[in-house]
Structure 1
Amino acid sequence: MTPAPILLFVYNRPEHVRQCIASLQANELAAQSPLFIYSDAAKTPESREGVEQTRQFIRDIDGFASVTIIEREQNWGLARSIIDGVTTQVNHFGRVIVMEDDLIAAPYFLQFMNDALETYKDEPRVGHIQGCDFTQDTSLPDTFLIKWTGSWGWGTWDRAWKLFNPNGKELLQQLEERNLTHRFDFNSTYGYTRMLRRQIEGKNNSWAIRWNASLFLADILSLNAGRSLIRNTGFDGSGTNCGGGGLYDSTLWLNPLPVEKLSPIEENEKAREAFVRYYHRTNCFMAKAIRRIKRTLKGDFGA
């Protein structure tokens, strides 16, 4: 098995990129994995220095089978860049692993992702592999199937990516017509439908909510790691979509995480219940109010 290519999307945070690359290099499979780095151009004059520092760093990266850098001449934004990059490379290689610059990978992340992509390559009902678990719910098994696609350290195949519908309006219409919004929102504990509406209104440009809805509507499952192999460090206020608070922090699992094909291929309802509990605990009115008060007292005014 040839390891899947790694697609890394970077912008203007050189320190985050350094941490991300170092964590990937610590994976044994890095030396056998092609790395494609998509570097977006500055959106504002204030961003130019960070973009240039990031580009200077990525031009000297080694430790991978190959390093290919795509430097955008104009600012594409994350959504357009990811959709283009994933489409291009998954059509060429048949499978991809996708990372963003604020993610830290555990030492066996690449092994897990490649094992999962190989194990489920011919399983049409599985379309996504997710390496991050932020619930930190110890009741979760090592791996489980769920109708939900996380966007932090993930992988897919060309057969699944063909299901991606970039038209948020069409996706929302189908969710509402089929009375699926309650389940899509984990029993109304988290506002994924609201996120999709805001994407339609131009209030966010999330590719991830459209990918999530696309597979959900197609009844396609994701294989998730129940022990987190990814940690998101972007909740420090430096990212476009990530405010402070540490709400989605996770503890990296530093051991191998075996992949065995699950049977039957169906959603793990107990795992879904764990997500409902998590979102209920963290997203209810009281939890959000307390969190905002604590963050305000600390001077953290992130979203």
Structure 2
Amino acid sequence: MGTYSQMTPPILFLIFNRPDLVEISFREIRKAKPSQLFVAADGPRAIKEGEAELCEQARRIVDHVDWECEIHTLFRDENLGCRKAVSSAISWFFDHVEDGIILEDDCVPEHSFFRFCGDMLARYRNDERVMCVTGDNFQDGIARGRASYYFSIYNHCWGWATWRRAWNHFDHDLKNWERLRETRFLQKLMPRKSADYWTRAFDSVLTNKVDSWAYIWTFSCWSQNGVTATPNQNLVSNIGFDTRATHTADATSASSRLQSHQIAFPLSHPSRVRRNRKADRYVEKNSFGIQLPDSYSDRVQRKLKKLVSGTKT
């Protein structure tokens, strides 16, 4: 089995019109010194005055590559929008490499993120159960198991990595969702309220009400019964919470204050590839705001506490 431990995997850097954020994120890429760097940028919107110059400023970041590196660029002249621009850039990336890291301009990784992704890409390269590696952890300090990471169905994309063999399943037009929507596909993965939430999310993309590639990628992973390797420490901070953002405009969000931490090496591996359902329920409730009913064990614990205190249930 190969390893990336002594080198950084290829990186796709997705940029647009925020040169200030590009510069901050690029500092961490420069420290990691990937031997292959792919930079993709959507084109400016004609209706946005001054955006063409901002896009040009962001693109000049490639001029600051000062280490031995093979550079590829995909700079669009016209604006494709979030869904098409990002997904087509990732497809372009995997036309050139077998696996790699994807970073957007507002995602700032802790340095150990790069090695974590490299180790995961090497370890699970041929394991089709694992569709994705994320650098994100939204468990608020709760460790899920004793290993360095666990498995989740949620493929958070604020700094992540995957393989060509996984991205080949990207369902661009959600054709499989049209087929699976009327089945119990989602109900088998999650509680009913969560299934209802994701049904609305996928429908909104299918009907073009939401311009999102990420929802499509999540569905694509689920359609293959795939899981995501998730670190027990958060490895990436998102600095893009402002009015310029497409999906993270709320600067008061708790996620905007999420700090990154170093993960220890060598990694401790889980004994088997199996999703952590408690972690997934926590994300559904606390990250997506889905009001889930108490679990049976929670209800039992609460009743026991009331009995001990002498109150009626």
Normalising to structure 2: TM-score of the pair? Answer: 0.81
Which residue does 1:139 correspond to in 2?
A: 143
In 2: Cα distance, 1:77 partner to 1:11 partner? 10
Shift of 1:189: 8.6
The aligned runs of 1:11-160 (5 Å cut-off) are 11-26=16-31, 30-44=32-46, 45-46=48-49, 47-63=51-67, 65-141=69-145, 142-160=148-166
The aligned runs of 1:230-241 (5 Å cut-off) are 230-241=236-247
Which residue does 2:295 correspond to in 1?
A: none
Look up the equivalent residue of 2:205 and give its one-letter code: Q
Change (3 A) 1:206 1:227: same
In 2: Cα distance, 1:151 partner to 1:16 partner? 17
Look up the equivalent residue of 1:247 and give its one-letter code: A
In 2: Cα distance, 1:64 partner to 1:99 partner? 20
In 2: Cα distance, 1:148 partner to 1:222 partner? 7
The aligned runs of 1:202-241 (5 Å cut-off) are 202-241=208-247
Which residue does 1:247 correspond to in 2?
A: 254
In 2: Cα distance, 1:63 partner to 1:176 partner? 52
In 1: Cα distance, 2:199 partner to 2:265 partner? 32
In 1: Cα distance, 2:143 partner to 2:207 partner? 38
Deviations 1:100-136, CA, capped at 9 Å, x for gaps: 0111110111111001100111212111001111332
Moved over 6 A (4+): none
Q: How many pairs align?
A: 281
Shift of 1:98: 0.4
Change (3 A) 1:121 1:190: same
Q: Secondary structure at the match of 2:182?
A: helix
CA RMSD of aligned residues (A): 2.5
Q: Secondary structure at the match of 1:270?
A: helix
Structure 2 residue 9 is matched with structure 1 residue 4: yes
Which residue does 1:201 correspond to in 2?
A: 207
Q: Which moved more, 1:121-130 or 1:82-91?
A: 82-91
Q: Secondary structure at the match of 2:162?
A: strand
In 2: Cα distance, 1:190 partner to 1:235 partner? 27
Shift of 1:38: 0.5
Shift of 1:201: 1.8
Q: Secondary structure at the match of 1:188?
A: helix
Shift of 1:179: 4.4
Identity of aligned residues (%): 24
Kept in 1: contact 2:12–2:101 (CA 8 A): yes
Kept in 1: contact 2:139–2:279 (CA 8 A): no
Normalising to structure 1: TM-score of the pair? Answer: 0.83
Which residue does 2:307 correspond to in 1?
A: none
Which residue does 1:290 correspond to in 2?
A: none
In 2: Cα distance, 1:237 partner to 1:183 partner? 34
Kept in 1: contact 2:285–2:291 (CA 8 A): no
